[in-house]
Chain A
C-alpha cells in the first residue's frame, strides 16, 4: 500500500524545486555553448559557428569558465533532456547559448528526428541552469511547450530567450548578446538589444521567465540574480519587435 501511495504521489507531485546543484555560481560562473551549422542534407547555418565563438570569447574574456563548447562533431540530444545527462551539460552550467535550427517545440541538432530536442523532454534548472539562450527560429513562439506536463522544460531555469518569429543566421549575434551580458545589462535586455543590433523590425524576439521577477536578473558578477524561483504552472513572456 505504501508503494502505491508513493507511486500515486509521484504522479501528482509538482515538478522538482529549482536547482541546488552548484552553490558556487557567483564566484565561479560557468557557461556552455553548442552550435549546429552543418545539417548534412541542406538548410545549413554557416554563421552559427562564428556566432558561438563570439559568445565564447566574450565570456572567457570576462573571466567565466567554459563548461562545454560543442559544434557539429557531436549531436547528442541527451545533453539537453531529462532522461539524459543534462546535469553534466545544459543543466550543469549557469548560462547556455545554442545557435542552430529551432521551431516552436524544440531545437534541432541534426536533420533526422532522432536528433531533435523536444522541450517536452527537458527539465532545465532543477540542477543548476539559470539562463538558456536559443538562437534559433520560433523557439519561444509557444510558451506552453516549455510547461508541458509531466516534464517542465522550465523547471527552475529563470529565463529562456529565443525568437517568436524567424531569426537570421548572423555571425555577430553571439558576441553582441554576450558583450551586453558582461557589460552590466540585465539578461533580458542583453538578449533584446544584442539581437536588435543586426535584426530589423520584421523580426520579433521573445523571452520566457518562470515568473516576472526573473526579468530583473543580471548574469553572475554583473548585478543581482534572484533566488531560484518556485516552479509552478505559470510563466511570463516578454515580446519585443526589433528596431
Chain B
C-alpha cells in the first residue's frame, strides 16, 4: 500500500513539476524590440514635399529677468500667496506654494523661459477615480479655458485654440487582459498655439487643464516673446528628409523604436525649446508627421528637422 502511495505521489509530483515547467516556459509573444538603428527601410514617404521659399525669418527671444516680485505678482493673479523659492536651479524653476488653501495650490515660474505652470495638485492628479468625472464638452471647455485665462490675465492675443482633448486617464487592469476593465477620463486639456510668419510654432506648450465639473485646475504656459532677427535660407525638403532618415533631428530620434513609420505630412514651422531650457534664437524647422507602428500597435509620429544648418547644434 505504501509503495502504491509512493508511486502515486511520484506521478503527481511529476505532473505538477511538468505543469510548472509548461507554465513557466510560456513562449513570449513575437513583439520583440529592434536591436539596431532605424534605417531607410523604417520610413516610407506618403506625402508630397512642400514648396518652399528661398528664405524664412529668424526670431530672437526677448531677454527676460524674473524677480521675486514678478513671481509674487503672477501668483497674485491666481489669488495665491506665499514665499517664492528656487525649486530647481538647473531648470530655473521658482515655486510658490499657497498652503493656506485647501487643497494647496502652487505656481512655478521658470526663469530660463518665463514659463508659468499652475497646479491644484490634489484635483489635477487625484489618487483614484471611482466614477466618470463630469468633464465639459469641447465647446464648453473652450469657453471655460478662455474665461480662466482672462481672469488670471494669462491671455495671449497671438494664440488660438488648436485642440481640446483628454489629458489624463485612470484604468483598472486584470492580469492577462488586453484591455482595461475600467477606464475613466480624468482631465481635459484646451491647447493653444501660435504662428510666426504664418507657420505654426512647435514646442510652445500653452494649455488650460479642466477637471470634474469643468473646474480649471491647471495651466501650462511656455510662450516666449520673440522679435524678428533677419532671415535665413533653408535646406531643400529632400535634404531635410535625408536628415530625418539619418536621425539628424531636433529632438532625439525615436525612429528605432518602430517597425514602420509612414510620413503622411511634411510642413514647415518654428521650434521652441522646453521651459527649463534657455533659448536665444527661434529657427525654422521641417515637420514630419504621420503614423508609426510597432508590434501592430499604431501611434502618432512627429519629428522635427532644423531647416537651416546654423541651427544645428
**Stretch from B9-17, B74-82, B149-157 contacting the other chain:** B9-17
A166 and B254 contacting across the interface, CB-CB below 8 Å: yes
B276 and A42 contacting across the interface, CB-CB below 8 Å: no
- Whether B305 sits at the interface, judged by CB under 8 Å, is no
Which residues of B have CB within 8 Å of A239?
Answer: 168-171
- Whether B50 sits at the interface, judged by CB under 8 Å, is no
Q: Indicate which residue in B12, B180, B276, B299 contacts A176 across the interface (CB closer than 8 Å).
A: B276
Task: Tell me the B172-195 residues at the A interface (CB within 8 Å).
Answer: 172-178, 180, 189, 191
**Bound form: Cα–Cα A28–B94 in Å:** 30
A144 and B177 contacting across the interface, CB-CB below 8 Å: yes
Which residues of A have CB within 8 Å of B38?
Answer: 43
- Whether A120 sits at the interface, judged by CB under 8 Å, is yes
Nearest CB in chain A: distance from B67 CB, A:
22
Q: Mark A185-210, 1 if CB is under 8 A from B, else 0.
A: 01011001100011111100000100
**Bound form: Cα–Cα A45–B19 in Å:** 41
- Whether B24 sits at the interface, judged by CB under 8 Å, is yes
**Bound form: Cα–Cα A171–B257 in Å:** 19
- Whether B133 sits at the interface, judged by CB under 8 Å, is no
- Whether B167 sits at the interface, judged by CB under 8 Å, is yes
Nearest CB in chain B: distance from A202 CB, A:
5
Residue in B closest to A42 when the chains form the complex, CB atoms: B37
Which residues of B have CB within 8 Å of A193?
Answer: 119
**Stretch from A59-67, A71-79, A90-98, A103-111 contacting the other chain:** A103-111
Which residues of A have CB within 8 Å of B220?
Answer: 243
B16 and A241 contacting across the interface, CB-CB below 8 Å: no
Nearest CB in chain A: distance from B107 CB, A:
13
- Whether B100 sits at the interface, judged by CB under 8 Å, is no
Q: Indicate which residue in A4, A112, A243 contacts B16 across the interface (CB closer than 8 Å).
A: A4
Which residues of A have CB within 8 Å of B16?
Answer: 4, 7-8, 10-11
- Whether A124 sits at the interface, judged by CB under 8 Å, is no
- Whether B212 sits at the interface, judged by CB under 8 Å, is no
A237 and B91 contacting across the interface, CB-CB below 8 Å: no
B32 and A113 contacting across the interface, CB-CB below 8 Å: yes
Residue in B closest to A239 when the chains form the complex, CB atoms: B169
B175 and A150 contacting across the interface, CB-CB below 8 Å: no
Which residues of B have CB within 8 Å of A243?
Answer: 167, 189, 205, 207, 209, 218, 220
Residues of B within 8 A of A (CB): 5, 8-9, 12-13, 16-17, 19-20, 23-24, 26, 28-29, 31-38, 87-88, 90-91, 93, 119, 121, 125, 127-128, 165-178, 180, 189, 191, 202-203, 205, 207, 209, 218, 220, 251-252, 254, 256-257, 274-277, 294-295, 297, 299-300, 302
Can you spell out 26 A-B residue pairs with CB atoms less than 8 angstroms apart? A11-B16, A11-B19, A42-B36, A43-B37, A101-B257, A103-B31, A104-B31, A104-B295, A108-B33, A111-B35, A116-B33, A120-B26, A144-B176, A147-B175, A169-B252, A170-B252, A172-B90, A175-B90, A189-B125, A197-B275, A200-B203, A212-B128, A234-B173, A241-B166, A243-B209, A243-B218
Residues of A within 8 A of B (CB): 1-4, 7-8, 10-11, 39, 41-43, 45, 47, 101-105, 108, 111-113, 116, 118, 120, 137-138, 141-144, 147-152, 165-170, 172, 175-176, 179, 183, 186, 188-189, 192-193, 197-202, 208, 212-213, 215-216, 233-241, 243
> 9 nearest interchain CB pairs?
A4-B12, A42-B37, A7-B16, A212-B128, A147-B175, A233-B175, A111-B35, A166-B254, A243-B220
